Amino acid sequence: MHTTSENINARALILALWCVCLMPAVAWAQAGDRVEQLRRAAANIGGDRLAEAERQLNQILRETPEEATALNLLGALRAKQGRLEEAEALFARAVRSDARLAGAHMNLAHLYLLRREPEKSAAQLREVLRLEPSNAEAAQRLAWLLLSQNRVEECVALVESLKETQPPSAPLLAAAGEAYLRKGDRIAAVAAFRKAAELNPQEPSYQFAIGSAWLRYPPDVDEAERAFRQFLKLRPGDAQGQIHLGYVLLKESRLAEARAVLEPAAQGGAATAEVFYYLGLIAQQEGEDARAVELFEKSVRLAPTFAHAHASLGAAFLKLKDYARAQAALEAAVKFGPEEPRAHYNLALLYARLKQPERAQEEMRTVERLKNQGKTLTEEGEEVAPPRQNDE
């Protein structure tokens, strides 16, 4: 059962999508007066004159009940009214009447996507591409649909196959870049994102994707910095851009620059846990331990399960010899991040100071086990990359 809000959102989205498919569908109608009638109906639907459009379409369908374009347009009208089951039935009738009507297949693809039936949606999009190999909208929607299901190899194969039938669009290249990144091929991913940025240089998300790709291990902070600075030129004041650039500058130990970038992102109600965490690390590295505690506490209030913030808070309390609060923070850190060696190591130090040798030895055994798994101790205050954002 969808909530009222979900239904409203679905209706708004379906309206936006189906309006795209109205006029192209008319182009395949029969010649003569019928074409003009269908064009007028499509224009009325696009202009929200639904009663007049319905009257026109019903008149056509009384004369020719299986007129595919009219059925498709009436389906779009029903979708605009939020009557999705009726819309599906009309689109299906349109396809049965004319299997080559790509607009009806596209509309079915949109409908199935809204109904959370991705397999059916993908099948309709593939049919559109079979009928119209150069259909860029169908190509990019199918690529992102496959990616949303983590069908990475299928997404890459689709993009490669489309090279023979259509020039790459920026959204398709962005999908390809994300797919390559998930495969671990950062070079191919960056190349795809850069090509997307060349095709649409005013779209900031492509620069953000380039910067995020360069932060993958091993990070290239110089390339990442360039990309995030370009992103912020296109989208000044964007909090995520500031957070990511601040993180890069922090990794380079350019503390004053990092603080100048991050502090604006900490203002207002949109600040994230990562902002205060990074500002806390800066304060810690500058020897301002009390200030670091204040910032780490803000971070864990915003994200109570953020293990690294708990670990840094615990380390700060340990340095200040506030052992009770250090213990609470470090135990929270290993609870939420049991595979983080630094928190276990600091907890071992704390238990040793509290004259609890058995617990200290247990924590050191955990550190050794994690070391054998390749998880070595990081430097105190080691930065944690901000979470990647999904732009699509």
Q: Percent of the chain at pLDDT above 70? A: 88
Residue whose token pair is 């502090």: 263
- Nearest Cα to 103, choosing from 142, 81, 80, 71? 71
Separation between Cα atoms, residue 211 and residue 380, nearest integer Å: 25
pLDDT at residue 154 in the model = 96
Residue 57, classed as helix, strand or coil, is: helix
Q: In terms of residues, how long is the chain?
A: 392
pLDDT band at 11 (very low <50, low <70, confident <90, very high): very low
Asked if residue 388 is part of any domain, the answer here is: yes
Q: Say if residue 151 is in the same domain as residue 167.
A: yes
> 242, 271, 300: which is the final residue of a domain?
271
381/298 same-domain check: yes
Please give the pLDDT value at position 285: 93
What does the pLDDT read at residue 169? Answer: 95
Residue 94 inside a domain? The answer is yes
CA distance 175 to 150: 12
CB 162 within 8 A of CB 142: no
Q: What is the rounded average pLDDT of the residues 327-348?
A: 95
Q: Which residues of 145-157 are buried (b: 16+ CB within 10 A; e: fewer)?
A: bbbeeebbebbbe
pLDDT value of residue 26: 46
Q: What is the dihedral of CA 347, 350, 351, 353, to 10 degrees?
A: 160
Q: Does residue 159 have a pLDDT over 70?
A: yes
pLDDT, one tens digit per residue, over 168-177 is 999 999 999 9
What pLDDT does residue 375 have? 79
Q: What is the pLDDT of residue 24?
A: 45
Residue written as token pair 């079915």: 108
Q: What is the pLDDT of residues 231-280, one digit of tens each?
A: 999 999 999 999 999 999 999 999 999 999 999 999 877 789 999 999 99
| 45 & 99 share domain | yes
Identify whether residues 267 and 377 lie together within a single domain. Answer: no
Query: What would the pLDDT profile of 110-154 be if each residue is shown by its tens digit?
Result: 999 988 999 999 999 999 999 999 999 999 999 999 999 999 999
In a domain, 100, yes or no: yes
Q: Do 107 and 230 lie in a common domain?
A: no
Q: Is the pLDDT of residue 32 over 70?
A: no
In SS3 terms, 19-30 reads as HHHHHHHHCCCC
Residue 383: pLDDT band (50, 70, 90) is low
Place of tokens 């954002």: 389
Residue 105: strand, helix, or coil: helix
Q: Residue 12: which domain range? A: 1-132
Q: Which helix (H) or strand (E) holds 269?
A: none
Is the domain of 4 the same as that of 106?
yes
CATH at 253 = 1.25.40.10
Q: Which of 132, 157, 174 is the last residue of a domain?
A: 132
Cβ atoms of residues 274 and 244 within 8 Å: no
In this predicted structure, what is the pLDDT of residue 384? 66
* Residue 147 and residue 178 in contact, taking contact as beta carbons nearer than 8 Å: yes
Q: Tell me how far apart the 2 most distant CA atoms of the chain are, in Å.
A: 94
Query: For residue 247, what is the enclosing H or E element?
Result: helix 239-251
Contact 382, 347 (CB under 8 A): no
Residue 28: the pLDDT is: 44
Calpha distance 345→135 (Å, rounded): 57
The pLDDT-based confidence of 378 (bands split at 50, 70, 90) is low
Q: What mean pLDDT is reported for the chain?
A: 88
Does residue 277 belong to any structural domain of this protein? no
User: Over 60: is that where the pLDDT of 6 sits?
Assistant: no
Distance (Å, whole) CA 222 – CA 248: 8
Judgement on whether residues 214 and 298 belong to the same structural domain of the protein: no
Percent residues over pLDDT 90 in the chain: 78
From 231, 248, 271, the end of a domain falls on 271
| pLDDT given for residue 34 in this prediction | 82
What is this structure's pTM?
0.80
What per-residue confidence (pLDDT) applies to 172? 96
Q: Is the peptide bond before 218 cis (omega within 30 degrees of 0)?
A: yes
Q: Is pLDDT of 223 > 50?
A: yes
78-89 pLDDT tens trace: 999 999 999 999
Mean pLDDT over 378-390 rounds to: 58
Q: Are residues 267 and 222 in the same domain?
A: yes
**Does pLDDT of 25 surpass 70?**
no
Q: What's the whole-number mean pLDDT along residues 44-58?
A: 92
Local confidence band at 29 (pLDDT 50, 70, 90 cut-offs): very low
Task: Establish if 362 belongs to a structural domain.
Answer: yes
pLDDT on residue 217: 84
Residues 6+ apart with CB under 8 A from 301: none
Q: What is the DSSP string of 145-205?
A: HHHHTT-HHHHHHHHHHHTTTSPPPHHHHHHHHHHHHHHT-HHHHHHHHHHHHHH-TT-HH
Position 225 scores a pLDDT of: 98
